Structure 1
Amino acid sequence: MDLHYLTVILLGIVEGLTEFLPVSSTGHLILASELLGYDASTWAMFNVVIQLGAILAVVVLYWRTFWAVAMGLLRREPVSWRFLRNLVVAFIPAAIIGLALHDYIEILLGAPQVVAWALIAGGVAILLIERMVKQDLFHGIADIPLARVIGIGFIQCLAMVPGVSRSGATIMGALTLGVERRTAAEFSFFLAIPTMLGATALELLKKGDQIISAAVGWDSIALGFVVSFLVAIVVIKAFVGLVSKHGFAPFAWYRIIAGASALVWLALR
């Protein structure tokens, strides 16, 4: 297979695998660019679009939930309005802080060492939170109180440091605030939709001409989108069942090992 398309498929798999796991998709894409030696700026549009493929997987898998909420909104059902309120409120801190700190975040995206250390620190944090959290107070997204939703929204902003993981920060933040595991994971999935759409819109607004002019080819972008979508479908289904039975410790140990390995590799290359 042509090396270019092999890279396309590999990056699509990386995005689909890591977008919804607490291991940082952005961090993995940064490390992949270092490992494979490709010019990240040339692939910027590709990386933006394949994230939307992973987001589409959430819409497809949970279309019944979104349909039920939409119908509930039309019928003015309180539970549907609370569901929508919680997603919007949790998204607002990331929107404001992401817009304000965009230029600083861009600098961090070029620092693979930051990714490696963040992977390790996040892994340790997950292990500690797993040991500390015992109470499951809230078993539905609409049931989470507004004050705790705001807290989850601010905790999600930690993921602006590459390697922290948006899903990891959201899930761990939700757990520490009393949200049950499955609900925390699904809240992270749903919150990814406005968060990633907002991040994509900001990226296109600020660097649209530059990104499009450096595109690797729309056939490659389409292939990466499809690969990311299909892999994310499988991952989301497996992830919810896995964390319900075994918790998040396996992902914590993976982060620690991956981060330490990345530090060694970056030091020796």
Structure 2
Amino acid sequence: MDIVLLVKAALMGVVEGLTEFLPISSTGHLILAGALLGFDDDKAKVFDIAIQTGAIFAVVLVYWQKIRDTVVALPTHPRARRFAFNVLVGFLPAVVLGLLFGKFIKAHLFTPEVVASTFILGGFVILWAERRPQSDAHIQNVDSMTPLDALKVGLVQCLAMVPGTSRSGATIIGGMLLGLSRKAATDFSFFLAIPTLIGAGAYSLYKERALLSMADLPVFLVGLLFSFVSAWICVRWLLRYISTHSFVVFAWYRIAFGIVVLVTAWTGAVRWAA
């Protein structure tokens, strides 16, 4: 067993778990971390998507009561059916556009320069969104959303197909711009992540199954485990954080980190791309 490879898998799992649900782009961080670790071949790209499932298990655990209550109430309660329908509506745009453009995006946009540029642009979008008064939010919780609200957030989520944009950043900040409170936008982003990331992981594993063998199982399991634990810690922290703080700190982090990546790439100080 290659211990070095398992350590790399663990590090990538931690990166995934800590960045998946913050508005700082897990894909962007995985691309950069993979480039630095030499963990960026075709099999590693499948690994990056697959370990998102570990992070999703953390969301399911944190929101287990809401998920369980919704499933139990589906046959009898309109509110539960509307919530489940909204999640489905929000999920569908990513399916359609992902199938249409996913291959092109992976072939041409998964580069450190693109990631760094979208980091910076996304940071300025967050700063702009946070300047808007919270009194503009007319949707205070996910149960108050309509299918049209969910569709709008689902369309915004598709912006995250460009690496470095951040799926959670697009849905949370996009949701806030569309009239959701910071808490409602964050909650819906997490719920929307469940079908989106599980679907992406399953599709990637099926599509690239020829690349994989049973010998890869320990590496994937280590990545999943570390992704789950770090995501569980991160989600619980973020839900407490947003009750008293804005996302401005993440905006400045994105801008600063993006500038560092661009400068080091242009000067050759760091070889971000393999």
Residue in structure 2 matched with residue 232 of structure 1 by the alignment: 231
Relative distance call for 1:109 and 1:206 in structure 2 (3 A) is farther
State how many pairs are aligned. Answer: 266
| Large movers: runs of 4+ above 3 Å | none
Please report how far the alpha carbon of residue 2 of structure 1 lies from its aligned counterpart in structure 2 after TM superposition. 4.4
Contact 2:25 2:164 in 1 (8 A): yes
Q: Among the aligned pairs, what percent are the same residue?
A: 42
2-side partners of 1:216 and 1:126: how far apart? 42
2-side partners of 1:4 and 1:204: how far apart? 19
Amino acid at match of 2:128: L
Q: Answer yes or no: is 1:148 the counterpart of 2:137.
A: no
Instruction: Kindly provide the CA deviation profile for residues 76-114 of structure 1, in whole angstroms up to 9, marking residues without a partner as x.
Output: 211101110110001111111111112212114531110
Residue in structure 2 matched with residue 254 of structure 1 by the alignment: 253
Amino acid at match of 2:254: R
Contact 1:42 1:216 in 2 (8 A): no
2-side partners of 1:64 and 1:248: how far apart? 26
What's the TM-score, normalizing by structure 2? 0.92
1-side partners of 2:203 and 2:192: how far apart? 17
Instruction: Kindly provide the CA deviation profile for residues 117-164 of structure 1, in whole angstroms up to 9, marking residues without a partner as x.
Output: 000000000000110243221122121122222111111100000000
2-side partners of 1:216 and 1:263: how far apart? 37
Residue in structure 1 matched with residue 9 of structure 2 by the alignment: 8
Equivalent positions of 1:1-269 (< 5 A) are 2-74=3-75, 76-134=76-134, 135-210=136-211, 212-213=212-213, 217-269=216-268
Where structure 1 has 5 or more consecutive residues not aligned to the other structure, the ranges are none
SS at match of 2:242: helix
Instruction: Kindly provide the CA deviation profile for residues 160-181 of structure 1, in whole angstroms up to 9, marking residues without a partner as x.
Output: 0000000000001110111111
Contact 1:108 1:114 in 2 (8 A): no
SS at match of 1:148: helix
2-side partners of 1:16 and 1:8: how far apart? 12
1-side partners of 2:40 and 2:156: how far apart? 31
Residue in structure 1 matched with residue 271 of structure 2 by the alignment: none
Amino acid at match of 1:177: L
Instruction: Kindly provide the CA deviation profile for residues 35-89 of structure 1, in whole angstroms up to 9, marking residues without a partner as x.
Output: 2233332323422321110000011111111110011102x21110111011000
Contact 2:137 2:180 in 1 (8 A): yes
230-239 vs 35-44, greater mean Cα deviation: 35-44
1-side partners of 2:201 and 2:3: how far apart? 29
Residue in structure 1 matched with residue 272 of structure 2 by the alignment: none
Contact 1:108 1:161 in 2 (8 A): no
Relative distance call for 1:38 and 1:216 in structure 2 (3 A) is farther
Relative distance call for 1:177 and 1:227 in structure 2 (3 A) is same
Amino acid at match of 1:71: V
Contact 1:43 1:216 in 2 (8 A): no
107-116 vs 10-19, greater mean Cα deviation: 107-116
1-side partners of 2:241 and 2:152: how far apart? 26
Amino acid at match of 1:171: I
Contact 1:86 1:142 in 2 (8 A): no
Amino acid at match of 2:48: N
SS at match of 1:42: helix
What's the TM-score, normalizing by structure 1? 0.94
2-side partners of 1:178 and 1:216: how far apart? 48
1-side partners of 2:67 and 2:127: how far apart? 32
